Amino acid sequence: MGQVNSQHKFADVEFVNYLTAHRYHPRSSKHGDFICEKLVSDLAYRCPLFKKHTEEHSICYKLNYTVNPSSPLKWTIDLVVGPCGDKSQLETNNILPPRGTPKEIWLAVDAKSIMTEHGKARRNRVRDIDALHNNLHAVNQKTVVGGLLVINISPTFYSPLRTDGITEHHNVERLVAESIQMFETVPRADSPTGGKGLDAMGVIIVDYSNQEGAICTIHTREPAPAIGSKVHYLTFIDDLCHAYTSRFS
């Protein structure tokens, strides 16, 4: 895998800086789009085959990709990557794959967050991720499927949707620890070459109250995943890379 000691900033670092500057709104997709684009950058930096395909302009990526758009059962995937269709319409810069609609899904990631109301939100997120890998692998077992989750460990949180302002999170460290355990147990893929289950799961813990002027930071102490953990962000990127390389080299 690629090196980690350089000027490259990984998505977890970039994301907390983004929230500090722009704050969080539960009805906006902008923060999700931001972290997905940074995830693509991390793969292009750290995964040799993904970097090769990026430089060859043989893959493109799309945010908020709609599956079965004409059906009442349509649903959206936060990020998809795959071989491009009409390359003449693509803008390329060799740092990221070009944006475009892939003609086939080689890699798909749902990037979600649990910023408040942890108990209810985490159950919904587990269902979302289970549905993602089940549905995609039913169509193509080679598709690399990942789930990325940002969990907030701040004891307080301001939600613009609540009329009563600040929410207090009691026993938040326990809630976060339980949530991490839930996502560690999401079924994993049968083999590197494809099959049922999730190919990669990443968890980023942030500390952010979302109040005016508040600074968002990465929480690295317990219960946050340690380096080498199966859900640490770098492990997540490496797992995506390993599966991608096994299936599309």
CA distance 186 to 150: 16
Whether 204 and 150 have beta carbons less than 8 Å apart is answered as yes
Is 6 inside a domain boundary?
no
DSSP annotation of 89: G
DSSP secondary structure letter of residue 215: P
Q: Is residue 124 part of a domain?
A: yes
Q: How far apart are CA 80 and CA 62, in angstroms?
A: 5
Token pair 């089940």: residue? 134
Q: At what angle do helices 30-46 and 233-248 cross, to 10 degrees?
A: 60
- Report the C-alpha gap between 166 and 156 in whole angstroms: 7
Measured between alpha carbons, how far is 31 from 223 in angstroms, rounded to an integer? 24
H/E segment holding residue 122: helix 118-139
8 Å CB contact between 116 and 164: no
Domain limits at 56? 11-170+183-248
**Residue 79, C-beta contacts closer than 8 angstroms, at least 6 positions apart:** 36, 39, 40, 61, 62, 63, 65, 107, 108, 109, 110, 111
Query: Would you say residue 138 lies in a domain?
Result: yes
**What is the pLDDT at residue 117?**
84
Helix ranges (DSSP H) in the chain: 11-22, 30-46, 48-56, 118-139, 172-184, 233-248
Which residue blocks in 82-117 are alpha helix, DSSP H? Answer: none
Asked if the structure places residue 56 within a domain, the reply is: yes
Q: Is the Cβ–Cβ distance between 171 and 115 less than 8 Å?
A: no
| pLDDT score, position 231 | 97
Amino acid identity, position 193: T
Q: Is residue 177 part of a domain?
A: no
Looking only at the bridges linking them, the beta strands covering 107-114 and 75-83 are antiparallel
pLDDT tens digits along 102-148: 999 999 999 999 999 888 888 888 898 988 998 998 889 999 999 99
User: Could you read off the pLDDT tens digit of each residue along the chain, which spans 249 residues?
Assistant: 544 556 899 999 999 999 999 999 988 999 999 999 999 999 999 999 999 999 988 999 999 999 888 777 788 999 999 998 766 555 666 678 999 999 999 999 999 999 998 888 888 888 989 889 989 988 899 999 999 999 999 999 998 877 777 888 889 999 999 999 999 999 898 777 777 899 999 999 999 999 999 999 999 999 999 999 999 999 999 999 999 999 999
In a domain, residue 69? The reply is yes
Compute the half-sphere exposure of residue 36: CA atoms within 13 Å on the CB side of its CA: 25
Place of tokens 């749902």: 110
- According to the model, what pLDDT value does residue 2 have? 46
Q: Tell me, yes or no, whether 231 lies in a domain.
A: yes
- Determine the Cα–Cα distance for residues 10 and 227; give it in Å rounded to an integer: 14
Domain assignment of residue 165, yes or no: yes
Q: Are 59 and 94 in contact (CB under 8 A)?
A: no
**Structural domain total, the chain:** 1
* Number of Cα atoms under 13 Å in the Cβ half of residue 66: 7
Q: Which residues make beta-bridge pairs with 200?
A: 146
Quote the pLDDT of residue 93: 64
